[in-house]
């Protein structure tokens, strides 16, 4: 597939996906969803790729869903097409991916970033769910994921007032794992992705599944699930290699088997 709204590059074992609609501040039109879904599927299916970084421009990760595309839609259009439901496909990516956010991550931009396994922010990053100012509410999971990430009081305040949150507050609130100077964002995100890419790929998928299970299961169910997945990894060559490499004081050479 040829992409018009995103750029996809393979850098070693890391796929770098960049939103590429600069004139619209990377607004998430339906075409972006189609292309991003295709790029993420291709990443998941490619054994040579072990981590993915999703980023935008200096000014905007993405300034939200495309308001111009949405404005004329009726209830029947939205309900009939189950508008935005397709974005959940991105969350079905089995392999790890990171959102690297500089500038605006508003509305759908914030929501897509929150779909990532972890978020790294530039000191210029601005997060927000301003949909209420447009007469709507978050529609790509913001009311759920923001609340899970930063707690009810702050999420409710942001969603009800439409106020934005800067990078330092996003860090102290637990929305992002770290904040770096804007000029170092991509280098830092790639460094993190390269570290993840060196890990045993099956363990990385299993780790994602276990952490994500904490959102869906009770504590007892989640701990049991974790233990079963942990046991299961003893059936992989990479567990044998990882533990042998430790004893032999060398770096593991992981095959994803």
State the residues that interact with ligand CAA by CB under 6 A: 24-25, 27, 63-68, 104, 106-108, 111, 130-131, 134, 138-140, 142
Q: Which is nearer to ligand CAA, 28 or 39 (CB)?
A: 28
In sequence order, which residues have a C-beta less than 8 Å from that of residue 85 and are 6 or more positions away?
Answer: none
Q: Which two tokens stand for residue 144?
A: 């759920």
184 is catalytic: no
Nearest distance from C-beta of residue 125 to ligand CAA, angstroms: 12
Nearest distance from C-beta of residue 113 to ligand CAA, angstroms: 12
Q: Which is nearer to ligand CAA, 70 or 197 (CB)?
A: 70
Q: Which is nearer to ligand CAA, 51 or 159 (CB)?
A: 159
Distance CA(26)–CA(112), nearest Å, equals 12
216 is catalytic: no
Distance CA(53)–CA(190), nearest Å, equals 7
Instruction: Classify the C-alpha dihedral 185-214-197-242 as positive or negative.
Output: positive
Distance CA(179)–CA(101), nearest Å, equals 9
Nearest distance from C-beta of residue 161 to ligand CAA, angstroms: 13
Q: Which is nearer to ligand CAA, 63 or 204 (CB)?
A: 63
Q: Which is nearer to ligand CAA, 150 or 207 (CB)?
A: 150
**Cα torsion through 56, 121, 193, 234, rounded to 10:** -130
Q: Which is nearer to ligand CAA, 63 or 185 (CB)?
A: 63
Distance CA(144)–CA(91), nearest Å, equals 14
Nearest distance from C-beta of residue 164 to ligand CAA, angstroms: 8
Catalytic choice (103, 107, 108, 242): 108
131 is catalytic: yes
Distance CA(72)–CA(125), nearest Å, equals 30
Half-sphere exposure of 177 (CA within 13 A, CB side): 14
Nearest distance from C-beta of residue 147 to ligand CAA, angstroms: 14
Q: Where are the beta strands (DSSP E) in 104-172?
A: 104-106, 118-122, 126-128, 165-166
Nearest distance from C-beta of residue 55 to ligand CAA, angstroms: 17
User: Minimal CA–CA distance to 91: which of 105, 107, 109, 111?
Assistant: 111
63 is catalytic: no
Catalytic choice (102, 105, 109, 131): 131
**Cα torsion through 161, 166, 172, 177, rounded to 10:** 120
| Residues tagged active-site | 65, 108, 111, 131
């Amino acid at each position: 597939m040829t992409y018009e709204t995103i750029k996809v590059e393979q850098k070693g074992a890391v796929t770098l996906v960049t939103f590429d609609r600069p004139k619209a501040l990377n607004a998430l039109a339906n075409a972006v969803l189609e292309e991003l879904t295709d790029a993420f599927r291709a990443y998941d299916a490619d054994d040579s790729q072990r981590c993915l970084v999703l980023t935008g421009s200096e000014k905007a990760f993405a300034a939200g869903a495309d308001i111009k595309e949405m404005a004329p839609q009726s209830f029947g259009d939205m309900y009939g097409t189950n508008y935005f439901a397709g974005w959940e496909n991105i969350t079905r990516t089995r392999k790890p991916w990171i959102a690297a956010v500089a500038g605006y991550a508003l509305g759908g931009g914030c929501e897509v970033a929150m779909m990532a396994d972890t978020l790294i922010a530039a000191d210029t990053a601005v997060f927000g769910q301003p949909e209420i100012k447009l007469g709507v509410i978050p529609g790509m999971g913001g009311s759920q994921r923001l609340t899970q990430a930063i707690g009810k009081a702050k999420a409710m305040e942001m969603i009800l007032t439409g106020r934005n949150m800067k990078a330092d507050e996003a860090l102290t609130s637990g929305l992002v794992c770290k904040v770096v100077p804007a000029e170092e964002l991509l280098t830092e995100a790639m460094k993190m992705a390269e570290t993840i890419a060196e890990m045993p790929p099956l363990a990385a998928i299993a780790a994602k599944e276990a952490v994500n299970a904490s959102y869906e299961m009770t504590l007892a169910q989640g701990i049991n699930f974790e233990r079963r997945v942990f046991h299961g990894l003893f059936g992989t060559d990479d567990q044998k290699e990882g533990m042998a490499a430790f004893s032999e004081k060398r770096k593991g050479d992981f095959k994803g088997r």
